[in-house]
């Protein structure tokens, strides 16, 4: 099946660009066709079932919710991540030189009633330049009952929040959750229908409550960054990720995942 049968092209107009700059978040609408939702959901559940036994109250929140590097095990996610409509949007918001920084499945299956506290995505591996873009694509309808995202529009304007030792590499390796105390008066829910996407700045504050429904809440999480972005708290080493647009000054980024892509095209 061709990508045009799975993905819906999308670019931002001037009004949307201005809204994103002001609010730090934007609902894109549909980026997956019905066939794309079904294909991606099937691949994602196969990958999830191969590494997760189900919700475990004794496990860390990351173990219960995340499957990192989803594009390594899901061919449709790989194509969507590297060549899908979100790459065009990342080019508009990040700039002409873009790399993929993160791909993961972010699942709250029925029974997982644990919340995720307020945080900025750029706290989990601080990248510079700071125009990092998070893209969430819903594989199910997500609402307040099953744990949709909540965001605080405009919160990106306060910049990177210092979280102290919780932002250090050792804390991230130990899977310690970052949960900030924030003023929630401006918070709004961001429900999504299956196939829709939400984008937000790496500094935008967001959280999610637990899933108290009898439905799953499955989301594909993708993150894009400047092709020359470095990890601030890791000796300013370049963040490795496939170059999806433009050029980079780092040869290790230029060569990253080339073998994987060449295999995929055979």
Q: Taking the domains of the chain in order of start, what are their residue ranges?
A: 3-264
For 151, counting Cβ atoms within 10 Å of its Cβ (0-12 exposed, 13-18 middle, 19+ buried), the class is: buried
Q: Which residues pair with 217 in a beta bridge?
A: 108
Can you give the pLDDT at residue 106? 96
What confidence score (pLDDT) does residue 257 get? 81
| β partners of residue 27 | 198
Percentage, residues of the chain above pLDDT 90: 80
Assigned CATH topology for domain 3-264: Jelly Rolls (2.60.120)
Of 57-66, 76-85, 142-151, 227-236, the range with the lowest mean pLDDT is 57-66
Average pLDDT over residues 156-163: 93
The four Cα atoms 149, 159, 135, 254 give a dihedral, to 10 degrees, of -150
Average confidence (pLDDT) over 179-188? 94
Where is pLDDT greater, at 166 or 83?
83
- For the entire predicted model, the pTM comes to 0.92
pLDDT of residue 9: 96
SS (H, E, C) 187-240: CEEECECCCEEEEEECCCCEEECCCCCCCCEEEEEEEEEECCCEECCCCCEECC
Residue ranges of the alpha helices (H) in the chain?
3-6, 14-23, 34-51, 61-65, 75-83, 85-94, 169-173, 251-254, 258-264
pLDDT at residue 53, rounded to an integer: 66
Q: Are 160 and 249 a contacting pair, CB within 8 Å?
A: no
Asked whether 152 and 184 are in contact (CB, 8 A), the reply is: yes
Residue from 76, 128, 122, 130 nearest 102 by CA: 122
**pLDDT for res 103:** 97
Instruction: State the average pLDDT over residues 90-110.
Output: 97
Contact 83, 6 (CB under 8 A): no
* Among 23-37, 98-112, 131-145, 249-263, the least confident range: 249-263
pLDDT, the chain, mean: 91
Which among 102, 86, 106, 1 has a CA at the least distance from the CA of 44?
106
Give CA separation, 249 vs 117, 124, 229, 252, 259, in Å.
Answer: 36, 24, 10, 9, 20
* Predicted pLDDT of residue 158: 95
Flag whether pLDDT at 165 surpasses 60.
no
């Amino acid at each position: 099946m061709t990508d045009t049968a799975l993905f819906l092209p999308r670019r931002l107009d001037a009004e949307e660009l201005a809204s994103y700059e002001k609010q730090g978040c934007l609902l894109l609408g549909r980026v997956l066709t019905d066939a794309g939702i079904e294909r991606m959901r099937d691949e994602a559940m196969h990958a999830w079932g191969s590494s997760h036994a189900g919700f475990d109250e004794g496990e860390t929140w990351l173990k219960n919710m995340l499957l990192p590097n989803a594009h390594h095990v899901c061919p449709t996610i790989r194509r969507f991540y590297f060549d899908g409509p979100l790459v065009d949007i990342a080019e508009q918001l990040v700039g002409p030189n873009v790399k993929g920084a993160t791909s993961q499945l972010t699942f709250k299956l029925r029974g997982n009633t644990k919340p995720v506290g307020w945080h900025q995505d750029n706290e989990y591996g601080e990248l510079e330049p700071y125009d990092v873009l998070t893209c969430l694509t819903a594989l199910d309808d997500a609402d307040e009952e099953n744990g949709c995202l909540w965001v605080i529009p405009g919160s990106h304007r306060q910049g990177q929040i210092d979280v102290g030792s919780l932002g250090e590499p050792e804390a991230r390796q130990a899977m310690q959750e970052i949960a900030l105390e924030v003023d929630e008066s401006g918070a709004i829910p961001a429900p999504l229908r299956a196939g829709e996407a939400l984008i937000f700045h790496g500094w935008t504050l967001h959280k999610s409550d637990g899933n108290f429904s009898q439905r799953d809440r499955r989301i594909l999480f993708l993150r894009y960054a400047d092709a020359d972005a470095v990890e601030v708290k890791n000796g300013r080493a370049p963040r490795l990720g496939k170059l999806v647009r433009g050029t980079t000054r780092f040869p290790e980024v230029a060569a990253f995942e080339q073998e994987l892509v060449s295999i995929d095209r055979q």
